[in-house]
Amino acid sequence: MEKRLPIKFFEKRIRDEQRTEGGGSQREDSWILHGDALTHRSQQLVSNMSQVAATFATRKQEKRKLPMVVATTIVEDAIAKSHRGQVVDLLDSDRKSNVIGIASAVQLDEPSNVSNPAKGDKGPPKSKETRRLLSVVTTDELILRIKHALQDTQNFAKLISAIAEIEPFEAQRVDYNPDNRLYRIRLIDYRDPHTNTLAQNLFKAKCHAHGIKIERETRYTRDMNLYRVSLDSMTNLEIMLGFEGIFSIEEAIPIRMDMDSLDDTLVPTAKQPVEGETYPVVGVLDSGIEKNKYLSPWIFRAGEEYYEGQYQDRGHGTMVASVLEYSDELNGTDDTAATGVMMMDAVIVPDLRKETVYPEDIIDNVRDAIERHRDIKIWTMSVGTIEECAKNSFSQYGIALDNIADENNVLIIKSAGNSNAFLYGDEHERITKMADSVRALVVGSIAGEKGQYDIAEIDTPSPFTRCGPGPAYVIKPDLVAYGGNTGRRPDGTTTMTGVRVLDRAGMVARAPGTSFSTPWIARIAAELNHLLAEDFDPLLIKALMVHNAGYPAGQRMNMEDKVKFMGFGMPPGIRDILYNSEHEITLILRDSLPKSQFINILEFPFPKSLVRDDGFYRGQITLTVVSAPILRASEGAEYCQSDISVRFGTMTGIKRRDTSKPMILNPYGSENGANLLREDYYSKIILGVTEEKAFAKERTLLRYGKKFHPIKKYAIDLDEMTAGNRKKLLGKDRKWYMRIEMLCREAIEREFRETGEKLEQEFCVLLTIRDPEGKAPVYNEVTQQLQDRGFVYSDVKLKNEIREYVRIEKDSNTD
């Protein structure tokens, strides 16, 4: 679903003025057909739909398990998004989001006579690429609705003119090469986690049934699964082509390998900063960055070296920097917004084969580097100890990193650490000391590929990644990204399928570890900091990333294990963080709260369009709270001395309160309020699902919103509420409220009483309200309610020079 609407900041209730927007107009395009040409096109498309209907009927009779996919070819002049709108509306005319993507096909034109018109000679046929909208068809009613519209030449001339052909989708055929048995297969992305998982399982089952070996399974991007399979005959190729979930199949051409490096032809093009353009900035706390042609242009100032050259080994730091700079180009992702990132190199660790170093030496180096470069706000750190963190006390090293972050107002992105315990069948080791930092974003690793002997399935925790929780059951790691896979061969040797990196010589190599998932997260944080037209705000950046993070689809892990190994999940790219679709809205409240007060927002905006026909509210709600707790190292497991708690729910109304009575200070309050973030309001069966429902992959269960956790996240689906609670708490006449309170431990209250200082807590709350059915105008309705109810609100502000870049639609190449 397209996201073009900016997320919004709002403030506590203040009556103030608001802004409005305008509109535009359009005229008929020259390519729209009329008369006989329009009639002929209409008849052709109706005939197409008759064939679609016949194929759909056959599939139903055969009881196919995957949805039927239809390819709608758009005429060249109508490829632009502004012209495709009616076509998409047609394909979605059952009020479902049926369009799942765009496919290209190469077709041969009729031979032209341009070579010698006088002689009537015709030139050779030319190939051209056509764009096809792919959509799913699940009902006969939708087919009839489409067919009816295509017959209506009076009202739908533009729609009919925009479509060249409609046909059941089939992967383009490929010739079988008996000299190369390896073929690369990509499955259809149905834009639905459950259906995608089903397609993968059916594909694997078909391969197994026919003795077709899957050599490697690889996730290149979020919506692209590739399988390299061994096909021994043309018959096997036909079997694969007959699988309904195939998007494409092609011959897999091997590349020339030299040890663990790839051929120079696979090295990405060296990027150069554009003069006058600004870029995100990241400080790299590591072993040093080799100044080769790929990375040297992006090192923007003299760095810090805490060891002489003969005691350095810049290999690790170079690989970390290459992920920071070239991750998309190397690993096939598409998550960055800026074309590059500037780096400051801090050599904080030596070649450990030549020099002994202790954790405190690292801390000193980190502190010195950051203090010397206070203007750099995002730092990536993929080095640290190998010691496991304690269960009930925070390490000195983690506390030191917190102190450095607070004193310098920076955000450190820290690796969770690696472990070899999986090699010996031991339990997973917990995160390392230093990674128990409260202020840092700590990053674990998940697998993006799976080799023959690798242990982890794609999108599940890497075997080597360390797990949580941190001390005092604080959720760590906070986030995850792709960091590689490992396993053991039958002979006992270790296999490693690392992420693609650049080594010191600029050659592509493989490297597994949380060291290489960490800079991926640092890049997103740096881009957010660069894009936002706000003063640096680590709470806001952390909140945006955690709030939008989710667990990759297709997993069968219980929620406790997801949180243990993956924290709050994997964040998406910048575009999905900063923008909403029309069926959702994200609101941000960034504030501080003194101990003596609480925020009680009565009549909180909530869309009436989410009331069902039966009179009860529906919808999905995600609420994230990120705070900067007051820290005291002396308090052991109670290191976090303050907390922010949030209640969000419904009430029957606002009641007057008698302030003449003792202990009653507020004249208004909620009547019969119910906090919907309570776990016991929801079905225990639903709360125990893995990925059977799409929302389950994003849900951090309510039980993880514990007191004195610096990050809390709640994700609820009102349809999952028990019937009795739904009847009592979700009626259309109930109002909505949000209450935010500060909690403090006794030690810090006592300390502030003695000093007379003001005890207050900074926080950031993000709330997303979403219609999972993609029907309700949530964004516009909540915005209108913000205005009507006197809130001060504004769109998230981006720097002018990059606003349009971030808002590029993902299919803009069709314009």
Our CA angle for 437, 442, 443, nearest 5°, is 160
Our CA angle for 405, 407, 411, nearest 5°, is 20
Average pLDDT, the chain: 84
What is the pLDDT at residue 107?
54
Confidence label for 186 from pLDDT (cuts 50, 70 and 90): confident
Spatial separation of the C-alpha atoms in residues 283 and 240, rounded to whole Å = 48
Structure-block tokens of residue 363: 């801390």
Confidence label for 635 from pLDDT (cuts 50, 70 and 90): confident
Q: Is the pLDDT assigned to residue 571 strictly greater than 90? A: yes
Q: Is the pLDDT assigned to residue 700 strictly greater than 90? A: no
What is the pLDDT at residue 621?
95
Q: Is the pLDDT assigned to residue 256 strictly greater than 70? A: no
Our CA angle for 93, 98, 100, nearest 5°, is 145
Our CA angle for 330, 334, 335, nearest 5°, is 110
Among the listed ranges 83-92, 301-310, 633-642, 704-713, which one has the minimum average pLDDT value? 83-92
What is the pLDDT at residue 811?
39
The partner residues of 282 in beta bridges, in order of sequence, read 343
Can you tell me whether residue 165 is helix, strand or coil? strand
What is the pLDDT at residue 657?
76
Spatial separation of the C-alpha atoms in residues 203 and 188, rounded to whole Å = 11
Spatial separation of the C-alpha atoms in residues 620 and 438, rounded to whole Å = 29
Spatial separation of the C-alpha atoms in residues 519 and 415, rounded to whole Å = 9
10-44: pLDDT as tens digits = 886 542 222 222 344 456 677 788 899 999 999 99
pTM of the entire predicted model: 0.73
What is the pLDDT at residue 517?
95
| E strand spans, 603-707 | 620-627, 642-651, 653-656, 668-671, 674-675
Please give the CATH topology (third level) of the domain spanning 35-109+127-168: Alpha-Beta Plaits (3.30.70)
221-236: pLDDT as tens digits = 555 567 889 999 999 9
DSSP symbols for 487-542: EE-TTS-EEEEPEEEE-TTS-EEEE-SHHHHHHHHHHHHHHHHHHBSSS--HHHHH
The partner residues of 248 in beta bridges, in order of sequence, read 186
What is the pLDDT at residue 701?
38
Spatial separation of the C-alpha atoms in residues 785 and 262, rounded to whole Å = 57
Q: Is the pLDDT assigned to residue 201 strictly greater than 60? A: yes
Confidence label for 773 from pLDDT (cuts 50, 70 and 90): very high
What is the pLDDT at residue 815?
36
What is the pLDDT at residue 113?
43
367-392: pLDDT as tens digits = 999 999 999 999 999 998 888 998 88
Q: Is 219 left (phi over 0), alpha (psi -120 to 50) or beta?
A: beta
Count of other CB atoms within 10 angstroms of residue 238: 12
| E strand spans, 310-368 | 342-347
Report the number of secondary-structure helices (H) and strands (E) in the chain.
Answer: 18, 36
What is the pLDDT at residue 748?
85
Q: Is the pLDDT assigned to residue 803 strictly greater than 90? A: no
| Strongest mean pLDDT among 71-85, 254-268, 602-616, 668-682 | 602-616
- Identify the residue with better confidence: 653 or 689: 653
Please give the CATH topology (third level) of the domain spanning 581-776: Jelly Rolls (2.60.120)
What is the pLDDT at residue 263?
37
For residue 188, the Cα-to-chain-centroid distance in whole angstroms is 19
Structure-block tokens of residue 455: 């242990």
Share of the chain above pLDDT 90, in %: 48
| Strongest mean pLDDT among 130-134, 292-296, 531-535, 799-803 | 292-296
461-477: pLDDT as tens digits = 999 999 999 998 899 99
35-109+127-168 and 581-776 share one CATH topology? no
Residue ranges of alpha helices (H) inside 642-738 are: 684-687, 723-729
Domain boundaries, the chain: 35-109+127-168, 182-254, 270-536, 581-776
Tell me how far CA of residue 90 lies from CA of 11, 329, 764, in angstroms: 40, 36, 41
- HSE-CB for 134 with a 13 A CA cutoff: 19
Spatial separation of the C-alpha atoms in residues 779 and 685, rounded to whole Å = 31
User: Residues 625, 540: contact at Cβ < 8 Å?
Assistant: no
What is the pLDDT at residue 814?
37
| Mean pLDDT on 343-361 | 88
Q: Indicate the class that CATH gives domain 182-254.
A: alpha beta
Share of the chain above pLDDT 70, in %: 85
62-103: pLDDT as tens digits = 889 999 999 988 887 665 534 566 787 888 878 787 887 777
The partner residues of 404 in beta bridges, in order of sequence, read none
101-125: pLDDT as tens digits = 777 665 545 544 444 444 444 554 4
Confidence label for 338 from pLDDT (cuts 50, 70 and 90): confident
Among the listed ranges 107-111, 407-411, 537-541, which one has the minimum average pLDDT value? 107-111
What is the pLDDT at residue 295?
96
What is the pLDDT at residue 798?
87
| Mean pLDDT on 709-718 | 93
User: Residues 274, 317: contact at Cβ < 8 Å?
Assistant: no
Spatial separation of the C-alpha atoms in residues 348 and 369, rounded to whole Å = 8
Q: Please give the torsion angle defined by the CA atoms of residues 165, 171, 173 and 177, in that order, rounded to the nearest 10 degrees.
A: 160
Count of other CB atoms within 10 angstroms of residue 456: 23
Dihedral over Cα of 193, 197, 203, 204: its sign: positive
Walk across the sheet containing 257-258 and list its strands. 257-258, 261-262, 508-511, 499-502
Q: Just give the CATH number of 270-536.
A: 3.40.50.200
What is the pLDDT at residue 119?
44
User: Residues 179, 46: contact at Cβ < 8 Å?
Assistant: no
What's the DSSP call for residue 304?
E
Give every CB contact of residue 624 below 8 A, 6+ residues apart in sequence: 543, 546, 547, 711, 712, 713, 714, 765, 766
User: Residues 51, 167: contact at Cβ < 8 Å?
Assistant: yes
Structure-block tokens of residue 373: 């470069």
Give every CB contact of residue 620 below 8 A, 6+ residues apart in sequence: 695, 715, 716, 717, 718, 768, 769, 770, 771, 772
Can you tell me whether residue 361 is helix, strand or coil? helix
Among the listed ranges 529-538, 691-700, 715-724, which one has the minimum average pLDDT value? 691-700
What is the pLDDT at residue 1?
59
